[in-house]
Chains A and B, each alone.
Chain A
C-alpha cells in the first residue's frame, strides 16, 4: 500500500491533492480572482476604502454564517438568526432612548436567549426538525416584534454612538484604516475556531452530527448539546444584530432578514456539510467574503436585475460544486 509513494504522481494530481489537503487554498484563490476581476472591470476600485467597506459588510454575514456552520455541523440549520438579529437591533435602538445602556443591552439580548432556548428545547427534546423549529420561532419572533413596535412608536429610536462607532467607524493603524468591527470580530472568530477544534463542546457538535446514537451510548446528553448550541447561535445572532444596526443605522422590522439565505450559502461555500459532521469556521469566513465581493461585482455589472440574480445563483452553485470536486480528491 506504500507503493503509491514511489510511482511519480502527475503534476495536475499533485496540485489537486495539495489543495485537497488544504481546502482553504482554493477558496482564497477564488476570492483573489474575484477581486482581480473587479479591479479589471473598474480600475482603481480596489482601494483602502473599498477593502474597509467590504470587510464591514462581510462581518455581520460571517457571524451569522458562523451560526449556520455550528448548527449545520450537528445536521441542523438556524433560520431564526435573521429575526433574532433584527429583534436585538430594534429593541436596542428603541430602548436606548430612555434606558441605561446596560439595561437596554440586556433587554436586547433577552429575546435572543429566549428564542435560542425554545429552538434548543424543540430540536433537542422534542426532536422537531431544525428547519421547521427555527422557521416557526422566527415567525413568532417577527409577530412579537411587530406588537412591540406598536408600543414604541411614540418614543422613537436612536442608534447608540458606541454601536455606530463599532459598526461604521475605522481606526487608522500604520496608515491603513481598520474597521472597528474587527475589534469584535477577530476575538469572536478565534473563539469559534478554538471551540470547534479544541474543546469538548466542539467535539460533541461534530460527533452528534455524525452519529447521534453513538454519542448517546458514550454518555452524551443530546438535549444539553443542542440546547447549548442553539442558545449560542441565537446569542451570536443577537450580537450581530447590534453590530448591524451600528452599520446600517436605520432600525427596521426586517433589518437582518436578507442575510439569512446568504449566511447558509456562505457556510456551504466554505465547505461545511449541510448533513452534519464535516466543516469548519475558517472556510465560512472566506465564504462570507466571497459572497460580499460577488455582490459588489454584480452591482457594478450593468445588467438587468433578473440577469444579475441568475448569475448570482449560478456562481454559488458552480463554486460549491467545484469546491466539492477539489476536496473529494482526498
Chain B
C-alpha cells in the first residue's frame, strides 16, 4: 500500500505508579480504513485512545499526524488535529441539555440532527437534559456529535458494547460508510462478528504492547485470539451443559414466580418462573423494560402492579436489602454502579456482610479473609492492584461485583449484561461460572445484549418487547434468527430481514481504497 498513514503512533508508554498500562504500543492507521484495536481486558486499549485524544499524557511515544510530528496535549488540541473520540463512558455534560452540549463543543446542529436520525433515533428533543437520556441513546449522541464535525480519525472505544442490537446495527452501517468516505476509524470491540463485518485491519495489544497487526480475512479470528491471549488457553467449551445436569428433576415449586408484574409504563403484565438450578436468559432490545424488570426483582424500584413470589411466599421489596434477605442478588451492568472504587477488593467483596444493623460490630477478620480469598480464587480475579478497585481493569472489576455474591452465597443472582466490554477469555470464565452456579442448585436470571451468549449459557429464554412478555422457549429452539425475530416482537416462525447481525458472514469486509 502506498498511501501514507493518517495517524502513526509508535513506542507509546504510560505508567500509573507501578502499573504499566502501556509499554511499547504502536498504531498506524491509513486513510479510508476501519482499523480494529483489539486486546484482552486491561491490555491498554482505552489508555491508548485516551492518549491519542489528549485526555491523558503519555510518558513516552512519538505521534505523527499526516506525517507531521504532533504533541497532543489536550482534548481541544486533538480535536484541532482532526482526532475525535467516543469514549467507553458517555461524555455529554449531564446537567446541560443536548443543544448546550453541542454549543459547548462547537458542533454544528444540523449535521448532528441528521446523524442522530441516521443512527436510528427519531424522537430526540434537543432540549432534553443529558441526565434524563438513557445510556444507549447517550452513546449514540456521543457518536453523532463526533460525526457532525467530520473528523479525519474517529476513535470508537467499545461503542457497541452497551447498545441493543438495533442501534448497534445502525452504528456499524454508519461506521462502514465513514471508511468508504476516505476517513479513518479506530474501532474497539470485543465482538468478533462486528470486527469481521467492519474492519480492514486489526492491531492487537497484549499487556500494553502491540503484538501484531493483521489484515481481517475470513478465519483470522483464531490468529487474533492467539495474539491477544498469548499462551492462555481459550475456547474450552464450558458452556455446554452436561447431560446429568439436564436430567435433574424439576422442583415442585419455582424459586421465583413473577405474576402480572407492572412497572410504570415501562413494564406491563409480565409473568414467568425462575427455578432452582437453571439459568434463564432475558432477551430484549435496548429499553424494552428489562432494566425495570431487574430493578423490581432486586428491590431497587417498587412495581406498580402484580406480584413477586419467592419460594411460594409473596414478597414485597422496599429496598435491595429485602431482596438480599430473600437470597436475591443483583449484579448491575454498569460496574461503577456496584463498586466502591477507592476501596480494596476485599472490602468490596465483603460489603454485603456489614450491611445489616446486627453486623455493624467488630469484624471477624480471619473469617472474612477466608471467605473473600475463596471467592477471589473461584473467579480468578487478578488482584495485583489490590489497594483500590479503580485500578483494576474493567473485566476484573466485573468479576469483583460477581464475587461479592458468591462470597455471600446468594441463592439467586440477577446478572444484567455481565459480559459488557469483557474479553473473550474472561467471558468464557463467566459463562462457566454461571453454569456452575446452576449446577449447585442456584438460579440465575441473565440479561445479555449478545444473542450468542444466550445459546451458550441459558436453559430457557424469556423474550420481552415493548414492556410485554413475547415468548418463553427452551434454548434448543433458540437459534440466532429465532431470537432476533422474537426480540423484535415478531411471533416465532415468521420470517423477516433483521439486518447484518443476523447473517454477519454475508457482508464482505470493507474494501480498502
A–B in direct contact per CB < 8 Å: yes
- Of A214, A216, A228, A330, which is in contact with the most chain B CB atoms at under 10 Å from its CB? A214
Q: Per-position contact with A for B374-393: 1 when CB-CB < 8 Å, else 0?
A: 00000000001000000000
B330 touches which of A1, A210, A217, A228 (Cβ 8 Å): A217
Residues of A within 8 A of B361 (CB): 199-201
Residues of B within 8 A of A330 (CB): 17
Q: Are A214 and B338 in contact (CB under 8 A)?
A: yes
Residues of B within 8 A of A213 (CB): 337-338
A199 touches which of B320, B324, B362 (Cβ 8 Å): B362
B340 touches which of A4, A198, A211 (Cβ 8 Å): A211
Q: Are B342 and A277 in contact (CB under 8 A)?
A: yes
- Of A1, A207, A217, A228, which is in contact with the most chain B CB atoms at under 10 Å from its CB? A217
Residues of B within 8 A of A4 (CB): 18
Residues of A within 8 A of B350 (CB): 203
Residues of A within 8 A of B347 (CB): 203, 206-207
- Of B19, B347, B351, which is in contact with the most chain A CB atoms at under 10 Å from its CB? B351
The yes or no answer to A204 lying at the interface (CB within 8 A) is yes
**Interface hit among A41-49, A147-155, A219-227, A319-327:** A219-227
Shortest CB–CB separation between residue B24 and chain A, in angstroms?
13
Residues of A within 8 A of B363 (CB): 198-200, 203
The yes or no answer to B404 lying at the interface (CB within 8 A) is yes
Q: Are A218 and B351 in contact (CB under 8 A)?
A: yes
A224 touches which of B17, B300, B357 (Cβ 8 Å): B357
| A interface: dominant SS | helix
A221 to B318, CA, bound (A): 11
Residues of A within 8 A of B343 (CB): 206-207, 210, 277
The yes or no answer to B339 lying at the interface (CB within 8 A) is yes
Q: Are A214 and B362 in contact (CB under 8 A)?
A: no
Q: Interface residues of A, CB < 8 Å — how many?
A: 27
Q: Are B352 and A204 in contact (CB under 8 A)?
A: no
Shortest CB–CB separation between residue B144 and chain A, in angstroms?
28
B320 touches which of A200, A201, A204, A218 (Cβ 8 Å): A218
Q: Are B351 and A214 in contact (CB under 8 A)?
A: yes
The yes or no answer to B359 lying at the interface (CB within 8 A) is yes
Residues of B within 8 A of A201 (CB): 354, 360-361
Q: Are B384 and A219 in contact (CB under 8 A)?
A: no
Residues of B within 8 A of A200 (CB): 353-354, 359-361, 363
Q: Per-position contact with A for B322-358: 1 when CB-CB < 8 Å, else 0?
A: 0011000010100011111111000100111111110
A198 to B364, CA, bound (A): 8
Residues of A within 8 A of B321 (CB): 219-221
Residues of B within 8 A of A198 (CB): 362-363, 365
Q: Are B340 and A219 in contact (CB under 8 A)?
A: no
The yes or no answer to A249 lying at the interface (CB within 8 A) is no
Q: Say whether, besides A198-B363, A199-B362, A203-B347, A211 and B354 are in contact (CB < 8 Å).
A: no
The yes or no answer to A215 lying at the interface (CB within 8 A) is yes
Shortest CB–CB separation between residue B207 and chain A, in angstroms?
8
| A–B complex contacts, Cβ < 8 Å, 15 sampled | A1-B384, A198-B362, A200-B360, A200-B363, A203-B354, A204-B360, A206-B343, A207-B340, A211-B340, A213-B337, A214-B351, A215-B340, A217-B298, A219-B321, A219-B324
